[in-house]
Amino acid sequence: MSSISERIDRILEVLPKRRWYRALTPFERLVSTILSQNTSREATIKGFKKLKERFAITPEVLAEASVEEIKACIKPSGLYNTKAPRIREVARIILDEYGGDLDNLIRLPLDMARERLLRIPGVGFKTADVFLSVVCRRESFPVDTHISRIAKRWKMVRGNAGYEEIRLAFEAVIPRGKRRRDHLSLIEFGREICRARGPRCETCPVYGECEWEGKSRSKGESYRFLTKSS
Ligand code: SF4
């Protein structure tokens, strides 16, 4: 049986090539990561664009911005009553503690940078790891709903495993240097093939190695096997 890393290599061969992220500044990416909490990519982009139309997305500008105005801009991204004050607070912290330059945080050793990010209100494990991995190209492995589902279907972790258990399980088997690429590939794999409902097992490149009891080559059949842990 192939390793998890080899399995992901095969998945990469069948996924369409995508431009994974846009050329944003580190602070813009951090704001966009906060906007993406509990919402879709499309809703994140809508809120981000409206915010950018109204404000320069810099710590200096957003630290002084009215929360009500931020709320009005980011409404399409949902949870705006929580996210707007959070964005302003993050801007103030970056300004006060890092002189307005996120690079001062990014350059810290990985564990320290992660720990500093987790101290910021509203920045949880996932936000910190997405920021470190996608923006800073560091070796953390963020866990989202797709990654969590795949880890459980592949029996890498227990059915009730939490964020840190899943992150550490992937970090243990994916070598440094491949984590960012593999993280993005698995998210795409979860969106397109190993979907929560109606996984497309009939087209899955790693069907033979998948340990999920609900998998099925018959189109649509795996619906019937969906379990809580999926
Ligand atoms: S066989 Fe089905 S459940 Fe298993 S990894 Fe592939 S798509 Fe996911």
Residue 189 · residue 168 · CB < 8 Å: no
pLDDT of residue 200: 94
Indicate if 32 and 121 belong to the same structural domain. Answer: yes
- Give the pTM: 0.76
| Domain termination site, one of 86, 116, 135 | 135
CATH number of the domain enclosing 10: 1.10.1670.10
Indicate if 94 and 35 belong to the same structural domain. Answer: yes
Q: Using one digit for the tens of pLDDT, what is the confidence trace for 122-138?
A: 889 988 998 888 778 88
- pLDDT higher for 28 or 2? 28
pLDDT > 90: percent of the chain: 57
Indicate if 129 and 57 belong to the same structural domain. Answer: yes
6: confidence class by pLDDT, cuts 50, 70, 90: confident
Which atom of ligand 1 approaches the CA of 204 most closely?
6
Among residues 15, 10, 1, which one has the least CA distance to residue 184? 15
Cβ–ligand 1 contact at 8 (below 6 Å): no
pLDDT of residue 1: 55
Indicate if 53 and 121 belong to the same structural domain. Answer: yes
- The answer to the question of residue 73 being in a domain is yes
Indicate if 62 and 151 belong to the same structural domain. Answer: no
Of 210, 211, 216, 226, the residue with max ligand 1 atoms within 8 A of its CB, to mutate for a pocket test, comes to: 210
Active-site annotation holder among 126, 129, 152, 182: 126
Indicate if 43 and 125 belong to the same structural domain. Answer: yes
- Does the annotation mark 215 as catalytic? no
Cβ–ligand 1 contact at 207 (below 6 Å): yes
pLDDT of residue 18: 56
194: confidence class by pLDDT, cuts 50, 70, 90: very high
pLDDT of residue 164: 95
Query: Which domain covers residue 200, as residue numbers?
Result: 4-16+143-225
Of 146, 154, 212, 224, the residue with max ligand 1 atoms within 8 A of its CB, to mutate for a pocket test, comes to: 212
Distance 200 CA to ligand 1 centre (A): 7
Q: Using one digit for the tens of pLDDT, what is the confidence trace for 72-83?
A: 999 999 999 999
Distance 143 CA to ligand 1 centre (A): 18
Distance 142 CA to ligand 1 centre (A): 20
- pLDDT higher for 134 or 84? 84
Indicate if 206 and 147 belong to the same structural domain. Answer: yes
37: confidence class by pLDDT, cuts 50, 70, 90: confident
| Domain termination site, one of 80, 103, 135 | 135
- The answer to the question of residue 221 being in a domain is yes
Q: Using one digit for the tens of pLDDT, what is the confidence trace for 151-191?
A: 999 999 999 999 999 999 999 999 888 888 898 889 989 99
pLDDT at 60 over 60: yes
- The answer to the question of residue 21 being in a domain is no
Q: Using one digit for the tens of pLDDT, what is the confidence trace for 145-158?
A: 999 999 999 999 99
CATH number of the domain enclosing 67: 1.10.340.30
Angle between helices 163-173 and 179-192 (to 10 degrees): 120
Indicate if 199 and 159 belong to the same structural domain. Answer: yes
| Domain termination site, one of 135, 161, 179 | 135
pLDDT > 70: percent of the chain: 90
Cβ–ligand 1 contact at 204 (below 6 Å): yes
- Does the annotation mark 126 as catalytic? yes
- The answer to the question of residue 230 being in a domain is no
pLDDT at 99 over 90: yes
pLDDT at 58 over 50: yes
Of 14, 215, 221, the residue with max ligand 1 atoms within 8 A of its CB, to mutate for a pocket test, comes to: 215
User: Tokens at residue 7, please?
Assistant: 């399995």
Indicate if 125 and 33 belong to the same structural domain. Answer: yes
pLDDT at 51 over 50: yes
Tell me what the mean pLDDT of segment 32-46 comes to. 89
- The answer to the question of residue 36 being in a domain is yes
Distance 174 CA to ligand 1 centre (A): 19
Tell me what the mean pLDDT of segment 38-65 comes to. 94
- The answer to the question of residue 198 being in a domain is yes
- The answer to the question of residue 111 being in a domain is yes
Indicate if 128 and 177 belong to the same structural domain. Answer: no
Nearest residue (by CA) to ligand 1, atom 2, is 201
Indicate if 131 and 32 belong to the same structural domain. Answer: yes
Pairwise CA distance, residues 7 & 32, whole Å: 30
| Total domains, the chain | 2
